[in-house]
Amino acid sequence: MACAAALVCALPATATATATATATATAAAAGGATVDSGPLRVSVAQGPWHLRVTDSRGRTVVSESTRAGANATGRLGFRVGKTWRHATRTLAVRRAGRTVNATVATDDPAHRTITVTIAPSAQGSVRVTATPSDPAAVVASGIGFALHPQEHFLGFGERSNAVDQRGNDVVSYVAEGPYNEADTKIVSHVLPPPGFDPPPTRVRAATASSSARKPAGRSA
């Protein structure tokens, strides 16, 4: 299974833009690298791996967690089986135009690394993509960020355990379709054709039946 995680960071449109208007990748102190996009800057450190997002005044927007726990709430990492493996140090940083690519070592006994690609997505936003090497056994990937003292997490649907989910693990499982296979015939009479997408086997059957009913001499 190919497994990659993508994160898009953006500041509100009202943020003061004092950085360059054109996104650029520049060398950072201590041998790391930064990618600028309007008022947003994403920095990665050489040596111990760490990702930090700042605004045009140098204030931290989000900073990667320094923990390496048993779940996705720590540093950048991936899960093999039931075990999480996390980034440890930056092995190499390469620049290609406006894009920065970093090769990151992990605590994985199989010596998997993570390729992190940081590139401007749009003015004021940056896309960060992380791809494990040899991802065949990787089933999940994740990254955690340190919380501000007054930061809270509200909502998440019908949760009965708490209103504020700060400090909790919130699992959202989204895999099933909007209706069961047995309900297909009923749903097809309710939804108009543009909004109804039956299984592929039924699409082929419907296409064959429609073609058979076309009057002779008319093109498809």
CB 24 within 8 A of CB 37: no
Going along the chain, which residue ranges are E strands? 5-10, 24-27, 33-37, 40-44, 47-48, 51-54, 60-63, 77-80, 83-96, 99-106, 113-122, 125-132, 138-142
At 177, the pLDDT band (50, 70, 90 cuts) reads: low
pLDDT per position as a tens digit, 12-65: 433 322 233 233 333 343 467 899 998 899 999 888 999 999 998 899 988 998
Beta carbons within 8 Å of 137's beta carbon, 6+ residues apart: 80, 81
For residue 158, what pLDDT is reported? 77
pTM exceeds 0.85, yes or no: no
At 173, the pLDDT band (50, 70, 90 cuts) reads: low
Question: Taking 70 as the threshold, does the pLDDT of residue 200 lie above it?
Answer: no
pLDDT per position as a tens digit, 109-162: 999 999 999 999 877 889 999 999 988 889 888 898 888 888 888 888 778 888
